[in-house]
Amino acid sequence: MAKSMDPRALFQEEAEELLQTLESSLLGLEDDPGNTEHLNSAFRALHTIKGSATMFALNALVGYAHRFENVFVSLREGNAVVTRDLVDQSLAARDILVLLLRTGEIPADVADQAEAVMVSLEGAVTAVPAAAEPDSHPRDDVTDEADRAGVERLLRIQYRPSSRTFINGTNPLSLIRELQDLGSTLVVGYSREIPPLEELQPDHCYLAWDILLTTDASRREVEDVFIFVDGESVVTIDEVHGGEYRRLGEILVDRGLLSQSDLEEYLGNRVPLGEVLVNRGVVSADSVRSALEEQRLIARIDSDDATSSIKVRTRRLDDLVSLVGEFVSLQAQINLTAQRLEDRELVNQVEQLERLVREARELSMDMHMVPVETLFAPFRRLTRELARELNREVSLTLNGTETELDKNVVDQLRDPLLHIVRNSIDHGLESPDARLAAGKPREGRLVLSAFHSGALVMITVEDDGAGINDEAIRAKAVEQGMIPADAALTREETLDLVFQPGFSTAKSATQVSGRGVGMDVVRRNVERLNGAVTLSSEAGVGTTVQLRIPLTLAIVEGLLCHVAGQSFLINLAYIRECVDGTAARRHSSGGFFDYRGSVVPLLDLAQFYRFGAANDDDPIVVVAAGDHLVGLVVSTILGNHQSVVKNMGALLQHVEGVSGAVFLADGTPALMVDVERLHRIASKQNRKSD
Amino acid sequence: MNILIVDDSISMRQMIRIILSGAGHDVTDAIDGSDGLAKFNETFDVVVTDFNMPQMGGVDLIKAIRSGEVNRTVPILMLTTESEAEKKALGRDAGATAWITKPFSKESLLATIDKISRSVAF
């Protein structure tokens, strides 16, 4: 056969061949009516013609072939027997298919005959299945406008993948991710079915999930996510109505996990229902946990309506947060005691306490969070005033104003942010005439953005002004005696000079931008929040100032390490990874090591804090300050620790590389490693040692 | 991606080949289930198979791949003519990852292949 590239032409040839096959099979059936081989072959030929014809939208051909095929389906199922008459009619129908193939539609003069042939064939097979019209787009045709209201609501999706889910090539995680694309989710996993390791079959799926999805997507869109799950998997989607507090028992009954009568029976006990049900084995602990999550989510959604709220003095809230912080610390101590006493009952109770303390912590921190909007909003007005005063035209854009941040942090960010914005308008953005001359629109663009990145909040101030001139900064710094005239500085280091005390490049001191009181104050204020500020700029294009701020000041989750016998805590927000020191490839100079394909500077904390020197096989904690990685060498890594961070006090607050202190479970103190500061020191040191 | 197309209709194979290779995929043809099984190996990222074929049909091919030793969790896309629930159930129970109903558009074929290949578990 000629290997034509055009599928339509190929189809023509192929269909002719198939009709030939059909004819031979029909003739074969005439000689041997019981021959299933011929029967199957005829059916397949019709089926293939129909299938391919649908792809070329040959609707008349598809329709006729479909009816013809149904006749053979019936024959194959034994609903009728092949007779001589049936073969005759089939051959006639085949000829009509040939016509259809060549002309695309049934010529008017044979239309009646074509219909008559098919009707008689359909009559010959007594129980032709109720002809399902080829429902080619069953899914697409359905539009359920009512369901597509675009109204946000809460859906409860119970997904119980069958054990063979992995073997079918499906990854439940990707389905959950697809749901996450549709809205916000709360996912509760069921892991109870996972057998002990020796019985575990790696390609079996033992997991199940409940997903609470808040979405405005239609039910169909949600169902479509699961369109490919296999038949043994169970997916149920129910709408959950908020608006009222629902008891645990009601949720479980609603989910079909518990009958109403059982519920009433168990409610008779004065013990928490969840506990009773789990202890009696009526409902699994996972199910109770999942139902409780739903209860809480709904409570939260309802409270978000903000119809009922009460004002609380910030001071009281602060007290609560710090009190909870103390709980967290004490909790850690009790944990240790319980483990030492090896009292199983006590350990269990302590674990429950730990869960409650964690919830209390989250709740109190939640109460303390305010949207960045409160920080950004005053700048709408301020920008206008500054612009007028300085003869600038500025359009201000605020992004991510819903990002939440600790209220105390927000309060302390006001001044630094004001400095930065002033600088941008005064030194960054050019006058309208200068902008026009530079081929830019008259109006300068100023963008304030906030977004979460792990346990940090990024706040950026971006302008499309003149950018910062390296040479001007350099000259100024030399003039001020900050650097020697021949100092070799990277661009980044040059820009960093802006943050040095006493530095100002403004040609004339203006009323608004102050006299060199600016970026150094900004940096100091931000560092007091354990944050960092960096600047990037491109001449003629604009300047971006980025603030990296921890979400909260109150309680820090960190990695506890020993350095030469002393305890240090490294904020988890900065940690990328811990690297086994024996496996790390260190450079012979000792100042660097290979990390995931790049060279990363090493900072030996023991040496830095002057305790001595680390061993060559000590573990490395890789931390990220902005885009930069540093490997901190510690003696041992102990584990996670949550704690209230205390200030160092006036006497010690200028100690470099330490940002605060915490109390450990046994009452001894540990110092917080100031990652941002250490990174700057590390990059300087290593450049010198080159 | 490396994709194995199993279909007894040369025009279907050609059409799918044009769509898939146009999207930058490598394509191997097989004329029915047994040919497909013979050509199947660990290099394929996705298998696209017809339901009805002489020698060995789609369901048997899927069963053979799923119970085999090599690349048994490969995503398999089944082509069906009608969206008959029964046939889908047959394919699904054999271990098809997804199905698509003829006639399908170029976009829906590519989107489906993209969807199932992203969902590979291992």
pLDDT digits (tens, 9 = 90+) for B44-64: 999 999 988 888 889 999 999
| Distance (Å, whole) CA A608 – CA A563 | 10
Cross-chain CB nearest to B75 (options A50, A165, A169): A169
- Check if A145-308 and A555-689 are the same fold: no
CB-based contact (8 Å) between B20 and chain A? no
CB-based contact (8 Å) between B101 and chain A? yes
Minimum Cα–Cα distance from A42: chain B residue = B54
> Residue A622's pLDDT is what?
93
> Residue A510's pLDDT is what?
46
Minimum Cα–Cα distance from A5: chain B residue = B14
* CATH of A145-308 among 3.40.190.10, 3.30.450.20, 3.30.70.1110, 3.90.230.10: 3.30.70.1110
Peptide bond into B103 cis (omega under 30): yes
Q: Do A168 and B96 touch (CB under 8 A)?
A: yes
Residue A143 has pLDDT above 50, yes or no: no
Residue A653 has pLDDT above 80, yes or no: no
Q: Which fold has domain A555-689?
A: SH3 type barrels. (2.30.30)
Q: What is the DSSP string of A56-123?
A: TT-HHHHHHHHHHHHHHHHHHTTSS---HHHHHHHHHHHHHHHHHHHHSS--HHHHHHHHHHHHHHHH
Q: Do A11 and B97 touch (CB under 8 A)?
A: no
Residue A387 has pLDDT above 80, yes or no: yes
The one-character DSSP state at A434 is H
Residue A149 has pLDDT above 50, yes or no: no
> Residue B102's pLDDT is what?
80
> Residue A150's pLDDT is what?
61
Distance from CA of B17 to the nearest CA of A (A): 10
CB-count exposure of residue A536 (10 Å: 0-12, 13-18, 19+): middle
Distance set, CA A312 to CA A315, A410, A615, A660 (Å): 8, 17, 53, 29
Residue B5 pLDDT level (bands cut at 50, 70, 90): very high
- Say which residue the tokens 């602990």 belong to: A285
What share of chain B in percent tops pLDDT 70? Answer: 93
Residues of A in Cβ contact (< 8 Å) with B15? 7, 55
What tokens appear for B59 in the block? 């369901």
ipTM over 0.90: no
Q: In what order do the strands lie in the sheet with A555-563?
A: A636-644, A555-563, A566-571, A669-673, A658-663
Distance of alpha carbon A94 from its chain centroid, rounded? 57
Residues of A in Cβ contact (< 8 Å) with B54? 41, 44
Substitution target in B8, B9, B65 with the highest count of A β-carbons within 10 Å is B9
> Residue A244's pLDDT is what?
57
Query: Of the spans A149-153, A488-492, A647-651, which averages the highest pLDDT?
Result: A488-492
The answer to whether the pTM exceeds 0.95 is: no
Cross-chain CB nearest to A44 (options B54, B73, B75): B54
The CATH code of the domain at A371-550 is 3.30.565.10
Residue A558 has pLDDT above 50, yes or no: yes
Residues of A in Cβ contact (< 8 Å) with B98? 227-228
Write down the domain spans for chain A.
7-126, 145-308, 314-366, 371-550, 555-689
H-type helices in A305-406, by residue range? 314-341, 344-367, 373-376, 378-389
Q: Counting one residue from A and one from B, how many pairs have CB atoms under 8 Å apart?
A: 115
Query: What average pLDDT does the structure give for chain A?
Result: 80
Lowest pLDDT segment from A601-615, A630-644, B39-53, B76-90: B76-90
pLDDT tens per residue across span A343-356: 888 888 888 888 88
List residues of A whose CB lies inside 8 A of any B CB: 1, 5, 7-8, 10-11, 14-15, 41, 44, 47-48, 50-52, 54-55, 57, 132, 134-138, 164-171, 174-175, 203, 227-228, 230-232
Substitution target in B21, B82, B97, B112 with the highest count of A β-carbons within 10 Å is B82
> Residue B3's pLDDT is what?
94
Distance of alpha carbon B38 from its chain centroid, rounded? 14
Q: Do B81 and A171 touch (CB under 8 A)?
A: no
Residue A375 has pLDDT above 50, yes or no: yes
The one-character DSSP state at A510 is B
The one-character DSSP state at A457 is E
pLDDT tens per residue across span A492-525: 888 888 887 767 655 444 444 443 456 887 888 8
> Residue A180's pLDDT is what?
84
CATH class of A7-126: mainly alpha
| Distance (Å, whole) CA A664 – CA A670 | 7
Q: Which amino acid is at A215?
A: T
In three-state secondary structure terms, A43 is helix
Distance from CA of B107 to the nearest CA of A (A): 13
What tokens appear for A484 in the block? 């020697």
Distance from CA of B92 to the nearest CA of A (A): 6
Residue B28 has pLDDT above 90, yes or no: yes
How confident is the model over A450-469, as a mean pLDDT?
Answer: 85
> Residue A508's pLDDT is what?
43
Closest residue by Cα to residue A569 from A611, A528, A623: A623
CB-based contact (8 Å) between B119 and chain A? yes
Residue A671 has pLDDT above 50, yes or no: yes
Residues of B in Cβ contact (< 8 Å) with A101? none
Substitution target in B3, B4, B6, B11 with the highest count of A β-carbons within 10 Å is B11
Residue A15 has pLDDT above 70, yes or no: yes
Distance from CA of A96 to the nearest CA of B (A): 21
Residues of B in Cβ contact (< 8 Å) with A230? 92-93, 95
**Which position has the higher pLDDT, A106 or A536?**
A536
Residues of B in Cβ contact (< 8 Å) with A10? 10-11, 14
> Residue A635's pLDDT is what?
92
Q: Do B76 and A169 touch (CB under 8 A)?
A: yes
Residues 46-75 of B with CB under 8 A from A: 50, 52-54, 66, 72-75
Query: Of the spans A35-39, A256-260, A341-345, B1-5, which averages the highest pLDDT?
Result: B1-5
Q: Do A169 and B120 touch (CB under 8 A)?
A: yes
Residue B39 pLDDT level (bands cut at 50, 70, 90): very high
Residues of B in Cβ contact (< 8 Å) with A8? 11
How confident is the model over B18-25, as a mean pLDDT?
Answer: 89
